Amino acid sequence: MIPIKYTVKSLERRKLTTLITVFGIALVAFVFAAVLMMAYGIQKTLKATGEPDNIKIMRKSAQGEISSIIDGDAQQIIATSRFVVRTAGGKPLVSNEPVVIINLQRDDGAMGNLTVRGVNETYKLLRPTMKITGGREFRFGVNELIVGEAILRKFPDAGVGKKIKFAGGEWTIVGVFSTDGSGFDSEFWADAKQVLSAFNRGSAVSTITTKLTSPDQLDAFNLFLAKDKRLNQFEAKLEQQYYEELSEALSTFINIVGIFVTVIFSFGATIGAAITMYAAVANRTVEIGTMRALGFSRRSILSAFLIESLLLSIIGGASGLILASFLSFVKISTLNFSSFSEITFSFAMSPQIIISSMMFALIMGFIGGFLPSVRAARLNIVNALRGL
């Protein structure tokens, strides 16, 4: 077997072509990892939205909260059911939440869609991770809003003290809140009754968030909804499960488009690797002939050149991953197809992304180096020693 040291030394002798090939593979690995990190970042953000023991009730046919409607009678029946937890004061622990979309100007001058969520007085019991990080909480009974901290980075008109207009009224932003990076950080929150009044929706809300008396009662609660003709058009899901399902469509779309673009880029990197390896074979014809004369088999020659190509891909893949890791500090926003509103998230790295990116780089290296390696292994010994 030809020593690995020979392979490393051969790369050092061709610094320029080696660097160009490594750069091409690194660029493709960077794009591939960035796409996966983007999709995973969306999933991670939405999976962290909500509480593990909260349930969300909405209309079965609804594609999202904004298309769900729960009338006042249904709200009352659900709130008074034996499944719903009561507060210390004996009131049902429910938040009947209207969800609407408004437009606000971004820092780039374009208009963006943002979610306004109406909540009840119990919302802090249902969302204990929410904390005010600036200003104060909104007051019930007046047109006041608190804004998720993710919105502030892209929407200059969403600062504390600013007034925004929607639904024919003027609303004052009085505070900033955080839910530790969940999807709620990309929303406005306000008094549910004020939101309903502004949009002339009567008592009909979008969803109900509540807790059950026991976590294992979800199936029994859904059976209760199904058996009642007044409630059989609704269903309940764990809140985190609901938001996790929302992330699937968007992350799948990003993966498909991103990987398609990456595959196109990979052709260039693979061709670059092949050109580099063909040049290596042409420049080292005498060396190959000498090794064959010394007794090294065709398989050893093929393995040496193939390892050389794979080594290039490993260096390129690792370099691309190192560059992609810095994206973890970047926050971006995109349109959530399910809610038609913007969601802000961070790129996120995972062990699976690292493994997938390195495998992709190795595949490029293998494809690019295989044919040149076969050519090197098939060289005639006499002709190779003559440099032919």
**pLDDT band, residue 321 (cuts 50/70/90):** very high
Mean pLDDT, the chain, rounded, equals: 85
Q: How far is CA 216 from CA 222, 227, 238, 246, in A?
A: 11, 19, 11, 23
Q: Which among 167, 129, 125 is positioned nearest to 148, based on CA atoms?
A: 129
Tell me the two tokens of residue 150: 């993710």
Q: What number is the average pLDDT over the span 345-371?
A: 88
pLDDT score of 234: 94
pLDDT score of 382: 67
Collect all residues with Cβ–Cβ distance below 8 Å to 28 and sequence separation of at least 6: 262, 265, 266, 268, 269, 316, 320, 360, 361, 364
* Tens digits of residue pLDDT in 176-227: 999 988 889 999 999 999 999 999 988 999 999 999 988 789 999 999 999 9
Length, in residues, of the chain: 388
Assign residue 240 a region: left if phi > 0, alpha if psi is -120 to 50, beta otherwise? Answer: alpha
Tell me which DSSP letter residue 138 carries: P
pLDDT score of 307: 81
Asked if residues 119 and 189 have their Cβ atoms less than 8 Å apart, the reply is: yes
**pLDDT band, residue 138 (cuts 50/70/90):** very high
Per-residue pLDDT at 292 exceeds 60? yes
> H helices within the chain, ranges in order?
4-13, 15-47, 72-79, 123-126, 149-152, 192-198, 218-227, 239-283, 285-293, 298-325, 351-377, 381-385
Q: What number is the average pLDDT over the span 112-116?
A: 91
Per-residue pLDDT at 333 exceeds 90? no
pLDDT score of 4: 60
Asked if residues 173 and 145 have their Cβ atoms less than 8 Å apart, the reply is: yes
Per-residue pLDDT at 231 exceeds 90? yes
Residue 336 has, within 13 A of its CA and on its CB side, a CA count of 29
Report the C-alpha gap between 280 and 309 in whole angstroms: 10
* 16-20, 129-133, 220-224: least confident range: 16-20
Greater confidence (241 vs 378) lies with: 241
Per-residue pLDDT at 1 exceeds 60? no
What is the maximum span of the chain, computed from C-alpha positions, in angstroms?
96
Element (H, E) at 345: strand 341-346
Collect all residues with Cβ–Cβ distance below 8 Å to 382 and sequence separation of at least 6: 289
Collect all residues with Cβ–Cβ distance below 8 Å to 291 and sequence separation of at least 6: 2, 300, 301
Report the C-alpha gap between 310 and 198 in whole angstroms: 63
pLDDT score of 64: 84
* Tens digits of residue pLDDT in 349-361: 999 999 999 998 8
pLDDT score of 6: 59
Per-residue pLDDT at 243 exceeds 90? no
Show the beta-strand stretches assigned E in 53-93: 54-59
Greater confidence (358 vs 379) lies with: 358
- Do the strands 144-148 and 187-191 form a parallel or antiparallel pair, or are they unpaired? antiparallel
pLDDT score of 340: 66
pLDDT score of 199: 92
pLDDT score of 88: 85
* 37-51, 319-333, 349-363: least confident range: 37-51
Q: What number is the average pLDDT over the span 335-360?
A: 83
Report the C-alpha gap between 268 and 250 in whole angstroms: 28
pTM score: 0.77
pLDDT score of 217: 92
Asked if residues 98 and 201 have their Cβ atoms less than 8 Å apart, the reply is: yes
Q: What number is the average pLDDT over the span 69-86?
A: 93
* Tens digits of residue pLDDT in 251-290: 777 778 777 877 787 777 777 777 776 776 666 677 667 7
